[in-house]
Amino acid sequence: MKTKLKENLLKDLKKYKNEVFAKYHAKYFQTQKGGYGEGDFFWGIKVPQQRVIAGKYWEYMNLKDIEELLKHKIHEVRLTTLMILIEKYKKSDDSIKYNIVRIYLRNSKYINNWDLVDLSALNITGSYWYNNSLIDFWKYAKSKNLWKERIAMISTLYFIKQARFAETLKLAELFLSHKHDLMHKASGWMLREIGEKNTDALVSFLDKYSAVMPRTMLRYSIEKLSLEKRKYYMGK
């Protein structure tokens, strides 16, 4: 019965396959040789369609089937599965949440593009790490693996929403010398979110590091500041 659910979910997703969108998504998510999404495959399914399907299945699908689907070669299958896992996490008690996080972490190599990370890290690892040990958090932050590093950084969005900034600021400092633009964007985005909560905390970081911040990180971080302040920090 449970395996049948998995097969039915895949059939439902296939109904929305679109070759035009699939080609566009493959290009947009840089699946070409040397791209950050190299080797990924798309069916060309839109996110709202995936949300409808996730809503249909999340309550009934077991964690074993979910873990298998997380390893699927098609990007949209993994994204839909993460939507299901998020809903499972939100509705579960602490013991099940622990199991969900274990599934997420041991399959993080399949959470291998920014949309997959950004959808799930806030709602799963962010929530869990905020309330529990940070051992795995720091392992991911210092892993030298782009997607694990991004999972760590985006997870801190949950922390920021609770007005806790220390981990985000530490990671932003750690990633000042990062080579990849996707981490510059993630760091700048989280700094901007801190600024929304506490302008002084952002300004303090900018005063210390703006002169050495990657340009993209800086631009993202100051987007919500006044024009005068944006000009000042870009000028540094």
Q: What is the mean pLDDT of residues 199-207?
A: 98
High-pLDDT (> 90) share of the chain, %: 98
- Determine the structural domain holding residue 65 and report its residue range: 1-112
Residue 232 CA to residue 155 CA, distance in Å, equals: 30
DSSP assignment letter at 16: T
* Distances 137 to 89, 141, 142 between C-alpha atoms, Å: 18, 6, 9
pLDDT tens for each residue of 79-105: 999 999 999 999 999 999 999 999 999
pLDDT for 37-91, tens place per residue? Answer: 999 999 999 999 999 999 999 999 999 999 999 999 999 999 999 999 999 999 9
Q: Say if residue 236 is in the same domain as residue 149.
A: yes
Both 169 and 125 in one domain: the answer is: yes
Q: At residue 198, does pLDDT exceed 90?
A: yes
Out of 46, 78, 112, pick the residue that ends a domain. 112
Same domain (yes/no): 93, 163: no
Q: Which two tokens stand for residue 8?
A: 């039915």
Across the chain, what does the average pLDDT equal? 96
Report pLDDT for 236: 81
Amino acid at 52: V
Which residue is listed with tokens 């210390």? 208
State whether 23 and 78 are in the same domain: yes
Query: Of 61, 80, 112, which residue sits at a domain end?
Result: 112
Question: At which of 112, 129, 162 does a domain end?
Answer: 112
- Report the predicted TM-score, pTM, of the whole model to 2 decimal places: 0.95
CATH number at residue 55: 1.25.10.90
Residues 107 and 161 in one domain: no
Say whether both 132 and 76 belong to one domain. Answer: no
Whether residues 94 and 141 share a domain: the answer is no
Do 36 and 80 sit in the same domain of this protein?
yes
CA angle 152, 154, 155 (to 5 degrees): 60
Number of structural domains found in the chain:
2
What is the sign of the dihedral through the CA atoms of 123, 124, 130 and 131? positive
Compute how many other C-beta atoms are within 10 angstroms of the C-beta atom of residue 109: 11
166 and 82 in one domain? no
Do 158 and 212 belong to one domain?
A: yes
Among the listed residues 181, 177, 187, 197, the one whose alpha carbon sits nearest the alpha carbon of residue 220:
187
Q: Tell me if residue 122 falls in helix, strand or coil.
A: helix
Phi, psi of 41, deg, nearest 5: -125, 145
- Indicate whether 222 pLDDT > 90: yes
- Predicted confidence at residue 1, as pLDDT, reads 43
Question: In the predicted model, what is the mean pLDDT of residues 172-197?
Answer: 98
Same domain, 99 and 130: no
CATH number of the domain where residue 150 is located = 1.25.40
pLDDT digit string (tens) for 127-151? 999 999 999 999 999 999 999 999 9
Please tell me what DSSP assigns to residue 34: T
Q: Are residues 49 and 95 in the same domain?
A: yes
Contact 229, 221 (CB under 8 A): no
